[in-house]
């Protein structure tokens, strides 16, 4: 038995243009989603790194005073580990400020106790500060909260922008498809009328368009996702080969969640196309075309 010819003609140059537009929108949306996710990951990683760490900078203290301060801090409940940073470690920390030539000779280095806290100890810094003061040790306790808060806020804004971009691109795709569906409906009004007069229900006719745009969305979304995969792979390759410090930048990873985003892109595009087509056709059929 031969395969039935689709009731809507298969070839349409307008659909080629629509395919390109949806493909480009899916590419941008997938890339924006990947960036949003990378930013989210980076934020989580930086925050996790900063949280759980407290720095105690000792003022006017010698090595003995530092040992005393370290022992006092280590004995506080909620402290996992406390150790005095070596001169080399402090020089490494300060190196970005002094460049390749290293620290000037004779520059006094501060004594710093690095404290690792147990998880969830977010109120430990004031307690340490109080205990050190009571013990007569002059020190500044820093829980990096101000810096971490700034980073979180900045990343929140970046994430919001990325998610808004995804939403805007999605809405644009739906609007474009709705417009294209209406144009297709007008262009095929003769077919729609014959189908109607042959007893086809609105639902039957809308399903024809839904199927058409579902397939178009799926194909265009898949191509767009493939392009964004290629773009992400290129960005990763460039980042890994770069010698510059990119630790603070969101890094694309292409882990399972990223791959899920890429797989979901054509499905979401197809669903959006289908729903847009359905709503447009049903609305158009109820009014004058």
Partner 1 sequence: MSIGNPDMILDFAVRLDGISLRYDSSEEILSGVDLELKPGSFTCLTGPSGAGKTSLLKLLYLALEPSRGEVSLFGRRTHDLSRSALSLLRRRIGVVFQEFRLLDHLTAYENAALPLRVAGQRESDYRSDVEELLRWVGLGGRLDAPPQQLSGGEQQRVAIARALVNKPDLLIADEPTGNVDPDMSERLMRLFIELNRRLGTTVMIATHDLTLIRKIEAPVLRLQHGLLVRDVEFGSDVA
Q: Which is nearer to partner 1, 67 or 202 (CB)?
A: 202
Residue 131 vs 211, nearer CB to partner 1: 211
Distance CA(289)–CA(275), nearest Å, equals 19
Q: Which residues contact 289 (CB under 8 A, 6 or more apart)?
A: 185, 186, 189, 192
Q: How far is the CB of 8 from partner 1 (least distance, A)?
A: 8
CB of 189 to partner 1, least distance (A): 11
Interaction of residue 4 with partner 1, rule CB under 8 A: yes
Length of the chain: 289
CA distance 12 to 3: 20
Q: Six-digit token pair at 194? A: 């014959």
- Distance in angstroms (rounded) separating the CA atoms of residues 265 and 74: 51
Site for partner 1 in 180-199 (CB under 8 A): 190-191, 193-199
DSSP code, position 122: T
Closer by beta carbon to partner 1, 148 or else 200:
200
Least gap, CB of 22 to partner 1 (angstroms): 24
Q: Is 9 in the site for partner 1 (CB under 8 A)?
A: yes
Contact pattern for partner 1 over residues 142 through 181, marking x by CB under 8 A: ----------------------------------------
Contact flag: residue 7 with partner 1 (CB under 8 A): yes
Residue closer to partner 1 by CB (options 187, 257) is 187
Which helix (H) or strand (E) is 112 found in, with range?
strand 111-117
Q: Which of residues 10-39 bind partner 1 (CB under 8 A)?
A: 10
Shortest distance in whole angstroms from residue 278 CB to partner 1: 15
* Interaction of residue 248 with partner 1, rule CB under 8 A: no
- In angstroms, rounded to a whole number, what is the distance separating the alpha carbons of residues 282 and 289? 11
For the bound state, the minimum distance from the C-beta of residue 193 to partner 1, rounded and expressed in Å, comes to: 7
105 touches partner 1 by CB under 8 A: no
Q: Which two three-digit tokens encode residue 47?
A: 């925050």
Whole-angstrom CA distances from 221 to 11, 167, 178 are 19, 15, 16
**C-beta closer to partner 1: residue 8 or 84:** 8
211 lies in the site for partner 1, by CB under 8 A: no
Q: 257: number of CA atoms within 13 Å, CB side?
A: 10
Q: Which stretch binds partner 1 (CB under 8 A): 7-15, 77-85, 88-96, 106-114?
A: 7-15
* CA–CA distance, 220 with 268 (Å, rounded to integer): 11
Shorter beta-carbon distance to partner 1: residue 226 or 285: 285
Q: How many CB atoms within 10 Å of residue 288?
A: 5
Closest alpha carbon to 31 in 276, 235, 216 = 235
Chain residues in the site for partner 1 (CB under 8 A): 1, 4-5, 7, 9-10, 190-191, 193-204, 285-286
């Amino acid at each position: 038995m031969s395969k039935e010819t689709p009731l809507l003609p298969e070839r349409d140059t307008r659909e080629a243009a629509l395919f390109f537009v949806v493909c480009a929108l899916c590419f941008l949306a997938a890339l924006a989603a990947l960036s949003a996710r990378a930013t989210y990951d980076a934020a989580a990683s930086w925050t996790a790194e900063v949280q759980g760490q407290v720095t105690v900078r000792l003022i006017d203290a010698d090595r003995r005073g530092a040992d005393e301060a370290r022992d006092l801090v280590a004995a506080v409940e909620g402290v996992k580990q406390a150790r005095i940073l070596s001169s080399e470690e402090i020089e490494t920390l300060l190196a970005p400020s002094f460049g390749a030539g290293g620290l000037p000779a004779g520059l006094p280095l501060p004594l710093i106790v690095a404290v690792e806290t147990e998880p969830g100890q977010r109120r430990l810094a004031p307690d340490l500060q109080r205990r050190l003061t009571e013990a007569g040790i002059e020190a500044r306790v820093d829980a990096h909260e101000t810096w971490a808060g700034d980073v979180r806020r900045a990343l929140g804004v970046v994430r919001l922008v990325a998610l808004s971009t995804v939403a805007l691109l999605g809405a644009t795709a739906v609007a474009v498809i709705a417009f294209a569906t209406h144009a297709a409906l007008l262009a095929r009004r003769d077919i729609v009328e014959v189908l109607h007069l042959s007893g086809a229900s609105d639902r039957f006719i809308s399903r024809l368009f839904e199927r058409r745009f579902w397939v178009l969305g799926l194909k265009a979304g898949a191509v767009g996702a493939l392009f964004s995969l290629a773009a992400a792979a290129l960005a990763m390759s460039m980042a890994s080969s770069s010698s510059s410090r990119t630790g603070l930048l969101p890094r694309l990873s292409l882990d399972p969640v990223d791959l899920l985003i890429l797989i979901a892109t054509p499905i979401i595009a197809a669903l959006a196309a289908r729903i847009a087509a359905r709503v447009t056709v049903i609305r158009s059929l109820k009014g004058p075309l």
